[in-house]
Amino acid sequence: MPDRPEIQAPWVADATATEMDFLESSFFASKLGQKHLPTPTEVAVCSPDFRTNPRPKPVKFEHLGLIVKFGPCVVVEEAICLRMLRKTLPEKVPVPEVYGWRVEEGRVFIYMELIQGETLHDRWDHLNDQGKISICAQLKEIVAVLRQLEPDPSDSFIGMWNARQSLH
């Protein structure tokens, strides 16, 4: 049986941080002169439903190849999870690259790679049965890979994976 993928502790960022930039990400490495993410204020200006919707639509910054998911229902742990999946299973679980996050006024802003194309949500009703079956088969493979994930054996604990205090 092949080795099971392990979650490596160095890839898990501090969920209590109110500001996090992953400087090794392609955003910071490839953007000539652009060494900072848009501020939460800049994101808010681009969002028509920033204050009125608890789940506002993500804001795209096409010229930066960036999308920002944000709102009071978004959590830092989502960014950490996406980053861990990309680092642990880069060829098996397709997720956008996370560039960083901000927490401001009770809202979390997750800055990530903008993937061009239609969303599955928008495309699903237009797929034929064979297309839907194909996508379900791909999702089945992804779930099977996720079920194989194991924690780093040197970092075992009892409790929530991101809890500040755990029982070692």
| Residue range 46-56, pLDDT digits in tens | 998 888 888 89
Q: Specify the pLDDT at position 50.
A: 82
69 burial (CB, 10 Å; 0-12 / 13-18 / 19+) is buried
The candidate with the shortest Cα–Cα distance to 76, out of 44, 42, 112, 51, is: 112
Percentage of the chain beyond pLDDT 70 is 81
Residue 16 has pLDDT above 80, yes or no: yes
Mean pLDDT in the chain?
85
The candidate with the shortest Cα–Cα distance to 51, out of 37, 65, 41, is: 41
Residue 165 has pLDDT above 80, yes or no: no
Average pLDDT over residues 60-83: 93
- Of the listed ranges 5-19, 36-50, 75-89, 137-151, the one predicted with least confidence: 5-19
